[in-house]
Amino acid sequence: MAMSGGMPLFALVAGEDSGDQLGADLIEALRARFPQARFVGVGGPRMRAAGFDAWHDTGALSVMGLVEVLRHLPRLLRLRASLAKRLLELKPDVFIGIDAPDFNLGLERKLKQAGIRTVHYVSPSVWAWREHRVEKIAQAADVVLCLFPMEPAIYARHGANARFVGHPLADRFPLVPDREAARRELGLGPDAPVLAVLPGSRLSEIHRLGAIFLDAARRVATEIPNLHIVIPTANAASREQVERLVRASGLAGCTILDGQAHRAMIASDGVLLASGTAALEAMLAKRPMVVGYRIAPFTHAIVKGLGMLKTDVYSLPNVLAGKRVVPELMQRDCTPAKLADAVLGWFRDAGRRDALTHEFERMHLALHAGGGAAMAAARAIEPLLPPRDGTVPA
């Protein structure tokens, strides 16, 4: 350990619900190494339950969409300035910005310039687009904690310090999920064919993809007798929107769930999902999937036209595998007919499903770090602490 005693002070800023979970796990891991440590900053209910002194709630930073960001920008800038002032006066031993790069990297840069050690936990997707951001991230953070094994090499190309600490979701899924138990918990028959449909967690995604996904599911149901469709929803608003779409679609044999996305995936025979974290979750559930997504055509044209994308694969299973192991149907290809055909391909080919399961197990193991992601992150942070008893940090 870098220190044999003392009360290190850690400041953390987590910008949304997923960051609150990461922060809570990290606090527990750091406290296991430093029982007298103090934790302050911006966090949510999980971090507070872990003994965090929250100056502000994560909700203060959770703003989605360009229009919303612009509307809240003056408030966010004031909040960041007040946090910087308070942290510069407090001088924590280490500042840890958890995700939320648009907010945290500017704060980290200011603190680092003042001599405070800084960490950015969760690398932005530099493997997908705008790799040049690495240099700005390196100016802000003494170390970047990466969730994916291919990311540190990208930082190394730019002389930046990054460490792979494992993905926390890899710690939460068993290597071999219990499909039968998941079905019992959801009240599904052990032998019924089940398709999980996840058109996104945000209302804008459900608005853009929901009807397309439900039409695709209806087409699959005409080919697979007794198909049961389960649709997990993230919150009350998304459930209400999904219920309206289901009524309009006339889709039968459908169960809408409050949360329980992981359980629904494990219980299923296949998953139709919007690109994003859900694809990683389906991979860890070891379920065949079809990934579909659409963004506004104008936005897509700008991103492609400016050459900002450096990959032609989008879903995390394909990125991690380094090849296309699951179908991706993006933009104009994201149609009910094409989605349905891709889903039916999984249902009809048991050998292909088995091969994918083995590939997913290998990828799952590659996302693990020794002792779990939070403990690996704590070990990576520890050398930044100043010596308190004459010892040299490890």
Q: Which helix (H) or strand (E) holds 24?
A: helix 17-33
Output the six-digit token pair for 88.
């510069």
In a domain, 4, yes or no: no
Find all residues with CB under 8 Å of 152, minimum gap 6, and list them.
146, 162, 163, 164
Is residue 142 located within the same domain as residue 185?
no
In a domain, 146, yes or no: yes
Transcribe 52-94 into DSSP letters: -EEEEEGGGT---SHHHHHHHHHHHHHHHHHHHHHHHHH--SE
Q: What is the pLDDT of residues 263-284, one digit of tens each?
A: 999 999 999 999 788 999 999 9
Longest dimension (CA), the chain: 72
Q: What is the CATH number of the domain that holds 351?
A: 3.40.50.2000
Range of the domain at 308: 172-366
Is residue 140 located within the same domain as residue 181?
no
Please name the amino acid found at residue 49: A
Transcribe 177-196 into DSSP letters: --HHHHHHHHT--SSS-EEE
Q: What is the pLDDT of residues 355-364, one digit of tens each?
A: 999 999 999 9
In a domain, 153, yes or no: yes
pLDDT at 391 over 50: no
Is residue 305 located within the same domain as residue 185?
yes
Q: What is the pLDDT of residues 122-138, one digit of tens each?
A: 998 776 566 678 888 98
In a domain, 393, yes or no: no
CA distance linking residue 80 with residue 98, whole number of Å? 14
Is residue 197 located within the same domain as residue 335?
yes
Q: Name the pLDDT band for 305 (thresholds 50, 70, 90).
A: low
Domain count, the chain: 2
> Strand, helix or coil at 117?
strand
| Lowest-confidence region among 303-307, 338-342, 372-376, 377-381 | 303-307
In a domain, 271, yes or no: yes
Is residue 131 located within the same domain as residue 226?
no
Q: What is the pLDDT of residues 63-83, one digit of tens each?
A: 554 445 566 678 888 888 999
CA distance linking residue 7 with residue 24, whole number of Å? 19
Q: Name the pLDDT band for 186 (thresholds 50, 70, 90).
A: very high
Is residue 322 located within the same domain as residue 379?
no
Q: Name the pLDDT band for 144 (thresholds 50, 70, 90).
A: very high
Q: What is the pLDDT of residues 19-52, one digit of tens each?
A: 999 999 999 999 999 999 999 999 999 999 999 9
Query: Dihedral angle at the C-alpha atoms of 109, 111, 117, 122, nearest 10 degrees?
Result: -50
In a domain, 394, yes or no: no
